[in-house]
Each structure stands twice: as structure tokens, then as C-alpha cells.
A and B are shown apart, each in its own frame.
Chain A
């Protein structure tokens, strides 16, 4: 029987298509999470009231920030999920090596981030509609929110990048945990411990600095470069660590 020849690109493409199909539950969880986030958002992110005599004034601020935050968390958890044995070992009954498996995972996470980012951004419109119909007597768009198509693109692009960054981080964390169970305890402790320590000392520590590095970047181009470099580093680390990983039941 003659041998079958396959190319890496061909295998990655097949795995990607297969994963989109087999991991549909991931997208179901996205829908559920975003609906919950929208419900939370209806409480408003801020409120200001004043009144006197005949006039009683209440101003509520609403934003889709919670939806974006939830989606980032979703990206993080999804990435961890697909590094678990149940998902990783699925690849090995099919044609695969570790590189193709990782590459198709990255493509899948990119797709998930695109879908998650765009829907999270669009959810602000849904929020506006719900509020203007049900919640308020007068509805005023904040000037910053007046949306041009360009703004929408940049906004969505940034959101997608954030979510993708979080999933890349999740992917690395997931691989570390697969490598050694100890990380499942060590990593959360270091993270939460770091936050507490920062709070106790009252100054911005490493975690805050990392957030500032991305969130405080005012130039979109610079933000893009920072983000992509970080992505590459995170995924390279994950690839390197998982390339010697064995398949165990």
C-alpha cells in the first residue's frame, strides 16, 4: 500500500475546519455570556441624580464595557479549555503533529476572538436600543460615542485584539497546567496574591503595569504593534512548551 503524502498547510486547514465544527459549544457559551453581560449592563455603569422643586433629574450612564470584559474572560477560558486533554487528544486520532495542532488552535482562537470582539462591540447598539425603548424617557448619545464607520472598525479591531491577547494568555496558561498540575495552583495564587500585595502597598505593581502598557496606549498603531508582539511571544512560548508533550490518556 503506497504512502499518503500530506503537507502541513493542508493538515492545518483540515483541522481548522474540523475544530470550527466540533467546538460549536464554545460559541453557544459566548452567546449566553454576552446576554448575561447585557442584562448586567442594564443596571448602568454610573448614576447621578439631582432634584429640587418641580424637577427631579436622574442621569444614568450605560456602556457595553461589561460585555467586552466578559468576552475577554470567555476568550481566556476557551483557550484553556482547548488545551485540555479531552480536546488535545482528539487531534491524535486524526492526522496531526504538535505544530499543526497548535496552529489550528491559534486559527480557531483568532476566529473566536473575531466573532467575540465584533459581537461585543455591536452589543452596544443593542444596549442603546433596549435602553431607549424601555428604560429612559430621554436618551442622549454621548458625543464620544457618535459612531463613524471608521470608529467602529478601530473599536472592533481593538476589542478583537484584547480578546485574542487574553486567549493567547489563556493558551499559554493551559499548556503550563497540562505540563504540570502544579501550575493550576501556582498561577492563580501568584496572580491574586500580586493583586492583594499591590493593594496593600497602595502602589501599582507588575500587574497594573502590564495593564497600563496596553490600555493606556493612545496611539492605535503602537497599541497594535505592542499587541501583536505580545501575541507572538505568548504563542511561541506555548508552542515550544507543548512540542515535546506526549499523548496520555
Chain B
């Protein structure tokens, strides 16, 4: 069953379209990575899913309901982001108590254990926390709420590497124990890709790719070898990225539609076939030029 269905979703702010005819389906009990450059529309999408914003045109259903102003959606979705508004008059312990009273699946024990593990102090106030500590507290809220749909928008902002690692581990362990639908937006695809089942790549308010992480790894292939030989194999193919390296050497990323026999021939032609990492591929796909930043410096 699809938990989220979007059809032709458009959201305009003034003249600019943050979402432009966006369509997708998110299946239940998956962890989906929402990837894209800054301004691709990730946060806008999450806000519409959470019922914070209303789309300009198009349709969206979450648990078969329209999310804007819907109590069922609100009760079953938690949206954690780095500008979270938490009551300023309550200390951390009291905030957790309030959360527990609102979210029926709230796991008090998990919240407490994480709270202690990350050395948060119950009498502290949210506004007094550092950026990284705020993110850590948000993460505890997002995990302990255990809502059927959990949205994390850039959850690791300000966290140090060790805490990020702990967070990914905690997320995975809780997901294994209580499978649910999780969407995770992040700039660190290389850090999260092993956690993910699906990747949703966005660009300029539209969906560029939506597929499983394992498929994405085989979706493209890098060919490296002598320029003439590589050109021969890539001339009729969609080039995603190309770079000249060294003397007469070229590295080209193309769609991986080679047959096994073709790949064999490629290898025999002295061309190395290299897998393309998901995060590199996402960068290549969303960059405006085929050569990336190098093109800026290559005049003519």
C-alpha cells in the first residue's frame, strides 16, 4: 500500500515554483532517502506531506487523506527538522512528557535511554542547547514518537561524526524492531545510503529518479581508458559525466545498458568499468554541466 501519493503537485511561492508538477508514490515500511541540491524542493515536499503547507495545484494523499488540516495525518506523522519549534517554557523532561501525551505509540523507555546515552540534562531548556544538541534532541523525539510515517529533514545538522553514526544506527535498529515508513533528507548520501531502501532524487521541484538503492548502483557505469577507445563506446549513449584525466585518458559515466557480452568487449578493449557511487551519481545528475566545476575553468 502506498503511504504517500503525489500527483502533479505544484507549490509556488510568489513567482518561483518550489515544487513543479511533482508526482511520486512512497510505499509503506520503507526508508527513503530524499536527495537533492539546496533549493530542489525537498523541505517544501516534506512540509506538504506533514500538512504544514498547502499545495498550489495538484493532489497529495497521506494514508489516503489530504494532509492539510487533517487530524489523522497529524497524529500519525512526525516531522523533525532543524527549525523545530518546541515550547520554550518547558524543560526537556517536560517536553518529552508532553510528546508522550500526544503520540500514542510514544516509547518512554527508548526516549529515556537515548536521553541518558547522549548526556542530555532533564532540567535544560531547548533554546539553551547547542545546534548539535538540538538536533540530537530532535532525533530522540522523532524516533520515540514511533509514528507510522516519520519525516526527518536534515536531521544531522550540527551533529559531530560520532553522533551521526549513533543516530543512523539507532534509526536502523528501531526500524528493524518497528518497521514503519521513514523519509530522510540529507546532504550526506554516502553516509546514509546503506540505511536506505529507496532513493528519491529531486531537481528544481521535480522528481529526477525514484528507485531502490541497489538498482541505482547499477544504473550507471563509469568507463575509464584511452580517449579514443572510450569515445567509441560512449558515442551513442547518454553521457552523464565526463572528465579528462592525464594524457589521453578519459573517464565517462553513462547509463548502464550494456549487455554482459558488450561489457566483456569493453574490458578487452582495455577500458576499465567502474561502479559509480550513488552520491557521485546524484551530484552528476543534478549538476548543470557535464564536466562539473571543471567546466568553469576550461575556457574553450
Contacts and interface: CB of A to CB of B under 8 A. Distances in A.
Interface of A: 1-8, 11, 14, 17-18, 21-25, 85-86, 89-90, 92-100, 243-244, 246-249
B178 interface: yes
A89 B85 contact: yes
Given A6-B71, A6-B75, A86-B88, 20 more contacts: A1-B29, A1-B148, A1-B178, A3-B63, A4-B103, A4-B104, A4-B105, A4-B148, A7-B71, A8-B71, A21-B94, A23-B89, A25-B89, A90-B85, A93-B79, A93-B84, A97-B51, A97-B70, A246-B52, A247-B53
A95 B86 contact: no
A94 B102 contact: yes
B153 to A, nearest CB: 11
B179 to A, nearest CB: 7
Nearest to A246: B53
Contacts of A243: 69
B270 interface: no
Interface in B69-100: 69-72, 74-76, 78-79, 83-90, 94, 98-99
B103 A95 contact: yes
Contacts of B74: 92, 95-97
B76 A3 contact: yes
A249 B53 CA distance: 11
A17 to B, nearest CB: 8
Contacts of A95: 71, 74-75, 102-103
Given A21-B90, A23-B89, A247-B52, A94 B98 contact: yes
Contact of B180 (A1, A7, A99, A100): A1
B interface secondary structure, majority: loop
B52 A5 contact: no
Interface of B: 29, 47, 50-54, 63, 69-72, 74-76, 78-79, 83-90, 94, 98-99, 101-105, 141, 146-148, 178-180
A22 B102 contact: no
B148 A97 contact: no
A44 B21 CA distance: 69
A90 B99 CA distance: 11
A249 B47 CA distance: 11
Contacts of B83: 249
Contacts of A18: 98, 101-102
B72 A90 contact: no
A94 B76 contact: no
A1 B174 CA distance: 13
Contact of B52 (A21, A92, A99): A92
Q: Sorted from nearest, which 3 A-B pairs have the closest CB atoms? A: A247-B52, A89-B85, A1-B148
A22 B202 CA distance: 39
A89 B53 CA distance: 12
B99 A94 contact: yes
A14 B148 contact: no
A89 B52 CA distance: 9
A95 B67 CA distance: 12
B85 A86 contact: yes
B29, B85, B146, B147, most chain A CB atoms within 10 A: B85
Contacts of B146: 1
A24 B89 contact: yes
B98 A99 contact: no
Contacts of A5: 72, 75
A6 B163 CA distance: 35
Nearest to A23: B89
A2 B28 CA distance: 11
A31 to B, nearest CB: 16
A29 B158 CA distance: 36
